[in-house]
Structure 1
Protein backbone atom coordinates (compact mmCIF):
# COMPACT_ATOMS: atom_id res chain seq x y z
CA UNK A 1 0.00 0.00 0.00
CA UNK A 2 2.82 2.38 0.88
CA UNK A 3 4.47 1.61 -2.47
CA UNK A 4 1.31 2.54 -4.38
CA UNK A 5 0.96 5.73 -2.35
CA UNK A 6 4.55 6.75 -3.09
CA UNK A 7 4.07 6.17 -6.81
CA UNK A 8 0.87 8.23 -6.94
CA UNK A 9 1.81 10.88 -4.37
CA UNK A 10 2.99 13.48 -6.87
CA UNK A 11 -0.15 13.12 -8.99
CA UNK A 12 -2.37 14.29 -6.13
CA UNK A 13 -0.86 17.77 -6.53
CA UNK A 14 -2.28 17.85 -10.08
CA UNK A 15 -5.81 17.07 -8.89
CA UNK A 16 -6.91 20.68 -8.06
CA UNK A 17 -5.71 21.94 -11.46
CA UNK A 18 -7.35 18.95 -13.15
CA UNK A 19 -10.69 19.68 -11.49
CA UNK A 20 -10.54 23.36 -12.47
CA UNK A 21 -9.63 22.41 -16.06
CA UNK A 22 -12.54 19.94 -16.16
CA UNK A 23 -15.09 22.44 -14.85
CA UNK A 24 -13.95 25.58 -16.69
CA UNK A 25 -12.76 24.18 -20.03
CA UNK A 26 -13.80 20.60 -20.79
CA UNK A 27 -17.38 20.75 -19.48
CA UNK A 28 -18.36 23.96 -21.35
CA UNK A 29 -16.64 22.70 -24.51
CA UNK A 30 -18.47 19.38 -24.51
CA UNK A 31 -21.73 21.15 -23.64
CA UNK A 32 -21.25 23.53 -26.58
CA UNK A 33 -20.86 20.64 -29.00
CA UNK A 34 -24.05 19.07 -27.63
CA UNK A 35 -26.15 22.25 -27.66
CA UNK A 36 -25.01 23.11 -31.20
CA UNK A 37 -27.32 20.29 -32.32
CA UNK A 38 -30.30 21.71 -30.45
CA UNK A 39 -32.71 24.63 -30.43
CA UNK A 40 -32.43 25.85 -26.88
CA UNK A 41 -33.16 28.68 -24.49
CA UNK A 42 -32.54 29.10 -20.79
CA UNK A 43 -35.31 26.70 -19.81
CA UNK A 44 -35.66 24.06 -22.55
CA UNK A 45 -33.95 22.43 -25.53
CA UNK A 46 -34.95 20.38 -28.56
CA UNK A 47 -32.64 18.23 -30.68
CA UNK A 48 -32.65 19.32 -34.35
CA UNK A 49 -29.52 17.63 -35.75
CA UNK A 50 -27.37 19.62 -38.17
CA UNK A 51 -30.01 22.28 -38.87
CA UNK A 52 -28.11 24.96 -36.93
CA UNK A 53 -24.99 24.34 -39.01
CA UNK A 54 -26.95 24.50 -42.26
CA UNK A 55 -28.56 27.77 -41.18
CA UNK A 56 -25.23 29.25 -40.08
CA UNK A 57 -23.60 28.49 -43.43
CA UNK A 58 -26.54 30.20 -45.16
CA UNK A 59 -25.85 33.42 -43.22
CA UNK A 60 -25.53 36.15 -45.84
CA UNK A 61 -22.48 37.80 -44.27
CA UNK A 62 -20.62 34.56 -43.52
CA UNK A 63 -18.38 34.65 -46.61
CA UNK A 64 -17.42 38.24 -45.78
CA UNK A 65 -16.85 37.22 -42.16
CA UNK A 66 -14.49 34.38 -43.11
CA UNK A 67 -12.54 36.64 -45.46
CA UNK A 68 -12.32 39.47 -42.95
CA UNK A 69 -11.26 37.11 -40.16
CA UNK A 70 -8.37 35.73 -42.22
CA UNK A 71 -7.28 39.22 -43.33
CA UNK A 72 -7.48 40.52 -39.78
CA UNK A 73 -5.52 37.58 -38.34
CA UNK A 74 -2.79 37.74 -40.99
CA UNK A 75 -2.38 41.53 -40.82
CA UNK A 76 -2.28 41.74 -37.02
CA UNK A 77 0.01 38.75 -36.51
CA UNK A 78 2.41 39.86 -39.26
CA UNK A 79 2.72 43.40 -37.92
CA UNK A 80 3.18 42.18 -34.35
CA UNK A 81 6.02 39.90 -35.48
CA UNK A 82 7.79 42.61 -37.49
CA UNK A 83 7.32 45.44 -34.98
CA UNK A 84 7.95 43.18 -31.99
CA UNK A 85 11.24 41.98 -33.45
CA UNK A 86 12.45 45.45 -34.46
CA UNK A 87 11.47 46.96 -31.11
CA UNK A 88 13.02 43.97 -29.33
CA UNK A 89 16.35 44.60 -31.09
CA UNK A 90 16.17 48.32 -30.31
CA UNK A 91 15.24 47.88 -26.65
CA UNK A 92 17.88 45.23 -25.91
CA UNK A 93 20.61 47.53 -27.23
CA UNK A 94 22.60 50.04 -25.17
CA UNK A 95 19.87 52.67 -25.51
CA UNK A 96 19.80 54.66 -22.26
CA UNK A 97 16.01 55.07 -22.08
CA UNK A 98 15.18 51.46 -23.05
CA UNK A 99 13.54 50.56 -19.73
CA UNK A 100 11.22 53.56 -19.90
CA UNK A 101 10.34 52.81 -23.54
CA UNK A 102 9.62 49.17 -22.69
CA UNK A 103 7.11 50.32 -20.08
CA UNK A 104 5.46 52.78 -22.48
CA UNK A 105 5.07 50.17 -25.24
CA UNK A 106 3.80 47.48 -22.87
CA UNK A 107 1.32 49.76 -21.08
CA UNK A 108 -1.55 49.46 -23.65
CA UNK A 109 -1.75 45.71 -23.02
CA UNK A 110 -2.85 46.49 -19.45
CA UNK A 111 -5.72 48.72 -20.54
CA UNK A 112 -9.21 47.35 -21.19
CA UNK A 113 -9.82 46.55 -24.85
CA UNK A 114 -13.26 48.15 -24.58
CA UNK A 115 -11.74 51.37 -23.25
CA UNK A 116 -9.18 51.43 -26.06
CA UNK A 117 -11.90 50.80 -28.64
CA UNK A 118 -14.01 53.68 -27.34
CA UNK A 119 -11.01 56.01 -27.19
CA UNK A 120 -9.88 55.26 -30.74
CA UNK A 121 -13.44 55.50 -32.05
CA UNK A 122 -13.45 59.08 -30.81
CA UNK A 123 -9.94 59.77 -32.10
CA UNK A 124 -10.84 58.41 -35.55
CA UNK A 125 -14.00 60.48 -35.92
CA UNK A 126 -13.89 61.98 -39.45
CA UNK A 127 -14.54 65.61 -38.42
CA UNK A 128 -13.94 65.91 -34.67
CA UNK A 129 -11.35 63.20 -34.07
CA UNK A 130 -7.85 63.96 -32.85
CA UNK A 131 -6.16 62.12 -35.73
CA UNK A 132 -7.85 64.06 -38.54
CA UNK A 133 -7.52 67.30 -36.59
CA UNK A 134 -3.77 66.72 -36.36
CA UNK A 135 -3.60 65.93 -40.09
CA UNK A 136 -5.53 69.10 -40.95
CA UNK A 137 -2.85 71.18 -39.24
CA UNK A 138 -0.35 70.10 -41.91
CA UNK A 139 -2.89 70.50 -44.73
CA UNK A 140 -3.98 66.87 -45.05
CA UNK A 141 -7.66 65.95 -45.16
CA UNK A 142 -8.02 62.77 -43.17
CA UNK A 143 -10.36 59.99 -44.32
CA UNK A 144 -13.31 58.48 -42.50
CA UNK A 145 -11.26 55.78 -40.81
CA UNK A 146 -14.17 53.69 -39.54
CA UNK A 147 -16.85 54.72 -42.05
CA UNK A 148 -14.93 53.94 -45.22
CA UNK A 149 -15.49 50.26 -46.17
CA UNK A 150 -11.96 50.06 -47.61
CA UNK A 151 -10.28 51.40 -44.46
CA UNK A 152 -12.43 50.30 -41.53
CA UNK A 153 -11.07 46.77 -41.06
CA UNK A 154 -7.43 47.85 -41.41
CA UNK A 155 -8.01 50.76 -39.03
CA UNK A 156 -9.22 48.40 -36.33
CA UNK A 157 -6.35 46.00 -37.10
CA UNK A 158 -3.79 48.78 -36.55
CA UNK A 159 -5.38 49.58 -33.18
CA UNK A 160 -5.16 45.89 -32.31
CA UNK A 161 -1.45 45.93 -33.19
CA UNK A 162 -0.88 49.08 -31.12
CA UNK A 163 -2.48 47.39 -28.12
CA UNK A 164 -0.91 43.95 -28.52
CA UNK A 165 2.64 44.65 -29.73
CA UNK A 166 3.76 44.95 -26.10
CA UNK A 167 3.26 41.22 -25.56
CA UNK A 168 5.27 40.47 -28.70
CA UNK A 169 7.98 42.83 -27.46
CA UNK A 170 8.27 41.03 -24.11
CA UNK A 171 8.54 37.65 -25.83
CA UNK A 172 11.21 38.93 -28.23
CA UNK A 173 13.20 40.60 -25.44
CA UNK A 174 13.29 37.27 -23.59
CA UNK A 175 14.32 35.46 -26.77
CA UNK A 176 17.05 37.94 -27.73
CA UNK A 177 18.52 38.14 -24.23
CA UNK A 178 18.77 34.33 -24.11
CA UNK A 179 21.17 34.28 -27.10
CA UNK A 180 24.70 33.53 -25.80
CA UNK A 181 27.21 36.36 -26.08
CA UNK A 182 29.68 33.98 -27.73
CA UNK A 183 27.88 34.39 -31.05
CA UNK A 184 28.25 38.16 -30.98
CA UNK A 185 31.92 37.94 -30.01
CA UNK A 186 32.65 35.51 -32.83
CA UNK A 187 30.88 37.80 -35.31
CA UNK A 188 32.84 40.79 -34.06
CA UNK A 189 36.12 38.91 -34.50
CA UNK A 190 35.11 38.07 -38.08
CA UNK A 191 34.39 41.75 -38.75
CA UNK A 192 30.60 41.39 -39.01
CA UNK A 193 28.37 44.45 -39.23
CA UNK A 194 25.20 45.33 -37.36
CA UNK A 195 23.17 43.96 -40.25
CA UNK A 196 25.09 40.64 -40.04
CA UNK A 197 24.33 40.55 -36.31
CA UNK A 198 20.64 41.05 -36.94
CA UNK A 199 20.20 38.75 -39.93
CA UNK A 200 22.68 35.95 -39.09
CA UNK A 201 22.28 35.73 -35.30
CA UNK A 202 19.20 37.46 -33.90
CA UNK A 203 16.65 36.41 -36.55
CA UNK A 204 17.48 32.67 -36.64
CA UNK A 205 18.20 32.26 -32.92
CA UNK A 206 15.05 34.10 -31.87
CA UNK A 207 12.92 31.78 -33.97
CA UNK A 208 11.25 30.20 -30.88
CA UNK A 209 10.09 33.70 -29.89
CA UNK A 210 8.82 34.31 -33.42
CA UNK A 211 6.97 31.00 -33.26
CA UNK A 212 5.25 32.01 -30.01
CA UNK A 213 4.30 35.46 -31.29
CA UNK A 214 2.88 34.12 -34.56
CA UNK A 215 0.78 31.42 -32.91
CA UNK A 216 -0.57 33.65 -30.13
CA UNK A 217 -1.28 36.58 -32.45
CA UNK A 218 -2.81 34.46 -35.20
CA UNK A 219 -5.15 32.62 -32.84
CA UNK A 220 -6.04 35.91 -31.15
CA UNK A 221 -6.81 37.46 -34.54
CA UNK A 222 -9.05 34.58 -35.57
CA UNK A 223 -11.00 34.83 -32.30
CA UNK A 224 -11.05 38.63 -32.11
CA UNK A 225 -14.36 40.25 -31.25
CA UNK A 226 -14.33 42.95 -28.58
CA UNK A 227 -12.29 45.58 -30.43
CA UNK A 228 -14.24 45.15 -33.68
CA UNK A 229 -17.57 45.31 -31.89
CA UNK A 230 -16.62 48.38 -29.85
CA UNK A 231 -15.31 50.34 -32.84
CA UNK A 232 -17.53 49.34 -35.77
CA UNK A 233 -20.10 46.70 -34.69
CA UNK A 234 -19.29 44.96 -37.97
CA UNK A 235 -20.07 48.01 -40.09
CA UNK A 236 -20.34 49.86 -42.29
CA UNK A 237 -22.73 47.22 -43.59
CA UNK A 238 -20.98 43.88 -43.11
CA UNK A 239 -17.56 45.12 -44.21
CA UNK A 240 -15.83 44.56 -40.84
CA UNK A 241 -17.84 41.58 -39.65
CA UNK A 242 -15.69 38.77 -38.28
CA UNK A 243 -16.91 35.26 -37.52
CA UNK A 244 -17.10 36.15 -33.82
CA UNK A 245 -19.23 39.24 -34.45
CA UNK A 246 -21.61 37.23 -36.64
CA UNK A 247 -21.97 34.74 -33.80
CA UNK A 248 -22.67 37.53 -31.32
CA UNK A 249 -25.41 38.95 -33.54
CA UNK A 250 -27.08 35.53 -33.47
CA UNK A 251 -26.98 35.55 -29.66
CA UNK A 252 -28.47 39.04 -29.68
CA UNK A 253 -31.32 37.78 -31.86
CA UNK A 254 -32.08 34.97 -29.40
CA UNK A 255 -30.86 32.21 -31.75
CA UNK A 256 -28.81 30.48 -29.08
CA UNK A 257 -28.49 27.11 -30.79
CA UNK A 258 -27.45 28.76 -34.04
CA UNK A 259 -24.87 30.90 -32.23
CA UNK A 260 -23.53 27.86 -30.38
CA UNK A 261 -23.11 26.07 -33.71
CA UNK A 262 -21.19 29.12 -34.92
CA UNK A 263 -18.90 28.87 -31.91
CA UNK A 264 -18.22 25.23 -32.72
CA UNK A 265 -17.43 26.16 -36.32
CA UNK A 266 -15.09 28.92 -35.12
CA UNK A 267 -13.36 26.43 -32.81
CA UNK A 268 -12.86 24.01 -35.70
CA UNK A 269 -11.62 26.78 -38.02
CA UNK A 270 -9.07 27.97 -35.45
CA UNK A 271 -7.90 24.39 -34.85
CA UNK A 272 -7.73 23.62 -38.59
CA UNK A 273 -5.52 26.67 -39.21
CA UNK A 274 -3.47 26.89 -36.02
CA UNK A 275 -2.56 23.21 -35.50
CA UNK A 276 -0.91 22.70 -38.95
CA UNK A 277 0.83 26.08 -38.60
CA UNK A 278 2.15 25.06 -35.19
CA UNK A 279 3.37 21.68 -36.48
CA UNK A 280 5.06 23.33 -39.47
CA UNK A 281 6.86 25.87 -37.32
CA UNK A 282 7.94 23.21 -34.83
CA UNK A 283 9.44 21.21 -37.69
CA UNK A 284 11.30 24.30 -38.91
CA UNK A 285 12.72 24.81 -35.43
CA UNK A 286 14.00 21.24 -35.36
CA UNK A 287 15.57 21.70 -38.81
CA UNK A 288 17.36 24.76 -37.51
Structure 2
Protein backbone atom coordinates (compact mmCIF):
# COMPACT_ATOMS: atom_id res chain seq x y z
CA UNK A 1 0.00 0.00 0.00
CA UNK A 2 1.62 3.22 -1.18
CA UNK A 3 1.39 5.96 1.44
CA UNK A 4 2.69 9.51 1.42
CA UNK A 5 3.36 10.68 4.94
CA UNK A 6 4.57 13.72 6.86
CA UNK A 7 5.39 13.52 10.57
CA UNK A 8 5.54 16.97 12.12
CA UNK A 9 5.93 18.34 8.60
CA UNK A 10 8.85 16.09 7.63
CA UNK A 11 8.68 13.14 5.22
CA UNK A 12 8.99 10.03 7.41
CA UNK A 13 7.29 6.70 8.02
CA UNK A 14 8.16 5.93 11.67
CA UNK A 15 6.92 7.34 14.96
CA UNK A 16 8.79 7.31 18.31
CA UNK A 17 8.19 4.15 20.34
CA UNK A 18 7.46 6.26 23.43
CA UNK A 19 4.76 8.38 21.80
CA UNK A 20 1.64 8.41 23.96
CA UNK A 21 -0.57 7.77 20.96
CA UNK A 22 1.14 4.41 20.53
CA UNK A 23 1.43 3.67 24.25
CA UNK A 24 -2.04 4.73 25.41
CA UNK A 25 -4.14 5.68 22.40
CA UNK A 26 -3.71 9.24 23.67
CA UNK A 27 -4.79 11.17 20.61
CA UNK A 28 -7.28 11.74 17.83
CA UNK A 29 -7.60 11.30 14.10
CA UNK A 30 -9.60 12.52 11.11
CA UNK A 31 -10.11 10.68 7.80
CA UNK A 32 -10.77 13.21 5.05
CA UNK A 33 -11.87 12.61 1.49
CA UNK A 34 -10.36 14.85 -1.22
CA UNK A 35 -11.30 15.19 -4.87
CA UNK A 36 -9.00 17.27 -7.06
CA UNK A 37 -7.35 18.93 -4.04
CA UNK A 38 -10.75 19.95 -2.64
CA UNK A 39 -12.08 18.71 0.71
CA UNK A 40 -15.70 19.95 0.97
CA UNK A 41 -16.05 18.73 4.57
CA UNK A 42 -12.72 20.19 5.71
CA UNK A 43 -14.22 22.80 8.03
CA UNK A 44 -16.30 20.16 9.80
CA UNK A 45 -13.24 17.93 10.24
CA UNK A 46 -11.20 20.79 11.67
CA UNK A 47 -14.00 21.88 13.99
CA UNK A 48 -14.26 18.38 15.44
CA UNK A 49 -10.48 18.02 15.68
CA UNK A 50 -9.98 21.32 17.52
CA UNK A 51 -12.96 20.73 19.84
CA UNK A 52 -11.78 17.20 20.62
CA UNK A 53 -8.23 18.40 21.31
CA UNK A 54 -9.73 20.83 23.80
CA UNK A 55 -11.67 18.06 25.51
CA UNK A 56 -8.52 15.92 25.80
CA UNK A 57 -6.35 18.90 26.79
CA UNK A 58 -4.05 18.42 23.80
CA UNK A 59 -2.78 21.68 22.23
CA UNK A 60 -4.55 21.79 18.82
CA UNK A 61 -2.54 21.92 15.60
CA UNK A 62 -2.54 24.93 13.30
CA UNK A 63 -5.27 24.11 10.78
CA UNK A 64 -3.67 26.22 8.03
CA UNK A 65 -0.44 24.30 8.48
CA UNK A 66 -2.39 21.05 8.32
CA UNK A 67 -4.00 22.12 5.05
CA UNK A 68 -0.61 22.93 3.56
CA UNK A 69 0.64 19.48 4.53
CA UNK A 70 -2.50 17.85 3.15
CA UNK A 71 -1.89 19.52 -0.22
CA UNK A 72 1.72 18.33 -0.15
CA UNK A 73 0.94 14.66 0.47
CA UNK A 74 -1.93 14.61 -2.06
CA UNK A 75 -0.06 16.33 -4.89
CA UNK A 76 -1.02 14.75 -8.27
CA UNK A 77 -3.65 12.53 -6.59
CA UNK A 78 -7.08 13.29 -8.13
CA UNK A 79 -8.78 11.11 -5.50
CA UNK A 80 -7.40 10.51 -2.02
CA UNK A 81 -8.15 9.91 1.61
CA UNK A 82 -5.99 11.80 4.10
CA UNK A 83 -5.65 10.66 7.67
CA UNK A 84 -4.57 13.33 10.13
CA UNK A 85 -3.43 11.91 13.46
CA UNK A 86 -2.67 14.12 16.46
CA UNK A 87 -1.16 12.61 19.62
CA UNK A 88 -0.05 14.15 22.89
CA UNK A 89 3.52 13.30 21.87
CA UNK A 90 6.30 11.74 23.92
CA UNK A 91 5.87 11.71 27.67
CA UNK A 92 7.43 10.09 30.69
CA UNK A 93 6.24 6.65 31.67
CA UNK A 94 2.84 6.66 33.38
CA UNK A 95 -0.58 8.11 32.77
CA UNK A 96 0.08 11.58 34.15
CA UNK A 97 -0.11 14.31 31.51
CA UNK A 98 3.24 15.81 30.47
CA UNK A 99 3.81 19.22 32.05
CA UNK A 100 4.77 20.68 28.66
CA UNK A 101 3.27 18.43 25.96
CA UNK A 102 4.75 18.48 22.47
CA UNK A 103 2.00 17.01 20.27
CA UNK A 104 2.87 14.95 17.25
CA UNK A 105 0.93 15.26 14.00
CA UNK A 106 0.93 12.72 11.20
CA UNK A 107 -0.54 13.59 7.81
CA UNK A 108 -0.80 10.60 5.48
CA UNK A 109 -2.43 10.22 2.05
CA UNK A 110 -3.91 6.98 0.75
CA UNK A 111 -5.75 5.88 -2.35
CA UNK A 112 -9.51 5.83 -1.62
CA UNK A 113 -11.14 2.49 -0.81
CA UNK A 114 -12.64 0.47 -3.62
CA UNK A 115 -16.43 0.43 -3.29
CA UNK A 116 -18.48 -1.20 -6.03
CA UNK A 117 -20.89 1.00 -7.96
CA UNK A 118 -23.60 -1.53 -7.06
CA UNK A 119 -23.17 -0.65 -3.37
CA UNK A 120 -24.23 2.95 -4.06
CA UNK A 121 -26.99 1.92 -6.45
CA UNK A 122 -28.47 -1.13 -4.69
CA UNK A 123 -27.14 -0.93 -1.13
CA UNK A 124 -24.94 -2.99 1.16
CA UNK A 125 -25.65 -5.94 3.41
CA UNK A 126 -25.16 -5.67 7.18
CA UNK A 127 -25.25 -7.85 10.27
CA UNK A 128 -25.79 -7.12 13.96
CA UNK A 129 -22.53 -7.39 15.90
CA UNK A 130 -22.29 -9.31 19.18
CA UNK A 131 -19.90 -6.87 20.85
CA UNK A 132 -21.47 -3.97 22.73
CA UNK A 133 -20.00 -0.49 22.92
CA UNK A 134 -18.99 0.67 26.38
CA UNK A 135 -20.44 3.97 27.58
CA UNK A 136 -18.06 6.82 28.41
CA UNK A 137 -19.64 10.26 28.04
CA UNK A 138 -16.26 12.01 28.45
CA UNK A 139 -15.08 10.41 25.20
CA UNK A 140 -18.40 10.13 23.37
CA UNK A 141 -18.49 11.70 19.92
CA UNK A 142 -14.72 12.01 19.55
CA UNK A 143 -12.67 10.06 17.04
CA UNK A 144 -9.99 9.07 19.52
CA UNK A 145 -7.27 6.58 18.69
CA UNK A 146 -8.65 3.63 20.64
CA UNK A 147 -10.72 1.72 18.08
CA UNK A 148 -10.42 -1.74 19.67
CA UNK A 149 -14.18 -2.16 19.94
CA UNK A 150 -14.50 -1.58 16.20
CA UNK A 151 -11.56 -3.89 15.46
CA UNK A 152 -13.14 -6.71 17.45
CA UNK A 153 -16.54 -6.04 15.91
CA UNK A 154 -15.09 -6.27 12.40
CA UNK A 155 -13.40 -9.55 13.36
CA UNK A 156 -16.81 -11.14 13.92
CA UNK A 157 -17.36 -11.91 10.23
CA UNK A 158 -15.35 -12.77 7.13
CA UNK A 159 -18.17 -13.07 4.58
CA UNK A 160 -17.29 -10.62 1.77
CA UNK A 161 -21.00 -10.19 1.03
CA UNK A 162 -21.41 -8.44 4.41
CA UNK A 163 -20.09 -4.90 4.17
CA UNK A 164 -20.82 -3.57 7.65
CA UNK A 165 -22.02 -4.39 11.14
CA UNK A 166 -24.48 -2.64 13.45
CA UNK A 167 -23.07 -1.74 16.87
CA UNK A 168 -25.32 -1.41 19.92
CA UNK A 169 -24.55 -0.19 23.43
CA UNK A 170 -24.83 -2.23 26.62
CA UNK A 171 -28.57 -1.43 26.80
CA UNK A 172 -29.19 -2.78 23.29
CA UNK A 173 -29.67 0.66 21.72
CA UNK A 174 -28.39 1.05 18.17
CA UNK A 175 -25.39 3.41 17.98
CA UNK A 176 -23.71 3.12 14.59
CA UNK A 177 -21.98 0.87 12.10
CA UNK A 178 -18.33 -0.09 12.65
CA UNK A 179 -17.05 2.60 10.25
CA UNK A 180 -20.05 4.83 9.64
CA UNK A 181 -23.00 6.55 11.24
CA UNK A 182 -26.48 5.19 10.67
CA UNK A 183 -29.81 6.76 9.73
CA UNK A 184 -33.24 5.16 9.44
CA UNK A 185 -36.66 6.29 8.26
CA UNK A 186 -39.19 5.03 10.82
CA UNK A 187 -42.88 5.88 10.43
CA UNK A 188 -41.96 8.55 7.88
CA UNK A 189 -39.45 10.28 10.20
CA UNK A 190 -35.69 10.34 9.65
CA UNK A 191 -33.89 9.18 12.81
CA UNK A 192 -30.27 8.83 13.89
CA UNK A 193 -28.94 7.58 17.24
CA UNK A 194 -27.84 10.00 19.96
CA UNK A 195 -24.09 9.81 20.59
CA UNK A 196 -23.80 11.46 23.98
CA UNK A 197 -22.67 8.31 25.79
CA UNK A 198 -20.65 6.43 23.17
CA UNK A 199 -19.97 6.35 19.44
CA UNK A 200 -18.32 8.73 16.99
CA UNK A 201 -20.13 11.86 15.81
CA UNK A 202 -19.06 11.75 12.18
CA UNK A 203 -18.64 14.84 10.02
CA UNK A 204 -20.78 13.22 7.32
CA UNK A 205 -23.46 12.73 9.98
CA UNK A 206 -23.18 16.45 10.79
CA UNK A 207 -23.62 17.28 7.11
CA UNK A 208 -26.74 15.10 6.90
CA UNK A 209 -28.18 16.77 10.00
CA UNK A 210 -27.55 20.19 8.46
CA UNK A 211 -29.15 19.14 5.16
CA UNK A 212 -32.10 17.47 6.92
CA UNK A 213 -32.85 19.62 10.00
CA UNK A 214 -36.06 17.71 10.65
CA UNK A 215 -34.03 14.62 11.64
CA UNK A 216 -34.76 13.31 15.12
CA UNK A 217 -31.70 12.49 17.23
CA UNK A 218 -32.40 10.07 20.04
CA UNK A 219 -32.68 6.46 21.09
CA UNK A 220 -33.07 3.90 18.29
CA UNK A 221 -33.92 0.34 19.23
CA UNK A 222 -32.96 -2.65 17.16
CA UNK A 223 -36.64 -3.52 16.69
CA UNK A 224 -37.32 -0.04 15.31
CA UNK A 225 -34.35 -0.34 12.98
CA UNK A 226 -35.56 -3.71 11.71
CA UNK A 227 -38.97 -2.15 11.07
CA UNK A 228 -37.61 0.89 9.22
CA UNK A 229 -38.71 1.66 5.67
CA UNK A 230 -35.28 2.98 4.67
CA UNK A 231 -31.78 2.73 6.16
CA UNK A 232 -28.51 4.30 5.05
CA UNK A 233 -24.98 4.92 6.28
CA UNK A 234 -23.02 8.16 6.23
CA UNK A 235 -19.24 8.27 6.00
CA UNK A 236 -16.80 11.03 5.13
CA UNK A 237 -14.73 8.43 3.26
CA UNK A 238 -17.48 6.40 1.54
CA UNK A 239 -20.29 8.92 1.34
CA UNK A 240 -23.97 7.90 1.53
CA UNK A 241 -24.46 4.14 1.28
CA UNK A 242 -27.94 2.58 1.17
CA UNK A 243 -28.47 -0.45 3.40
CA UNK A 244 -29.95 -3.31 1.42
CA UNK A 245 -30.40 -5.75 4.29
CA UNK A 246 -29.72 -6.27 7.98
CA UNK A 247 -29.45 -9.96 8.81
CA UNK A 248 -32.72 -11.35 7.35
CA UNK A 249 -34.49 -7.98 7.01
CA UNK A 250 -34.48 -6.38 3.54
CA UNK A 251 -34.86 -2.68 2.79
CA UNK A 252 -35.61 -0.75 -0.40
CA UNK A 253 -33.37 2.14 -1.40
CA UNK A 254 -35.49 5.13 -0.45
CA UNK A 255 -35.95 8.67 -1.63
CA UNK A 256 -34.12 10.26 1.30
CA UNK A 257 -31.04 8.20 0.52
CA UNK A 258 -31.13 9.22 -3.12
CA UNK A 259 -31.58 12.89 -2.23
CA UNK A 260 -28.58 12.80 0.07
CA UNK A 261 -26.46 11.01 -2.52
CA UNK A 262 -27.28 13.89 -4.86
CA UNK A 263 -26.39 16.33 -2.07
CA UNK A 264 -22.95 14.70 -1.87
CA UNK A 265 -22.49 15.06 -5.62
CA UNK A 266 -23.50 18.72 -5.36
CA UNK A 267 -20.79 19.18 -2.72
CA UNK A 268 -18.28 17.95 -5.28
CA UNK A 269 -17.72 14.56 -3.67
CA UNK A 270 -17.74 11.70 -6.12
CA UNK A 271 -17.42 8.01 -5.36
CA UNK A 272 -18.86 5.81 -8.09
CA UNK A 273 -17.99 5.94 -11.76
CA UNK A 274 -21.55 7.15 -12.38
CA UNK A 275 -20.59 10.35 -10.55
CA UNK A 276 -17.68 11.16 -12.87
TM-score relative to the length of structure 1: 0.24
Give the structure with the larger helix fraction.
1
Higher RCO by CA contacts (8 Å cutoff, separation 6 or greater): 1
Give the structure with the larger strand fraction.
2
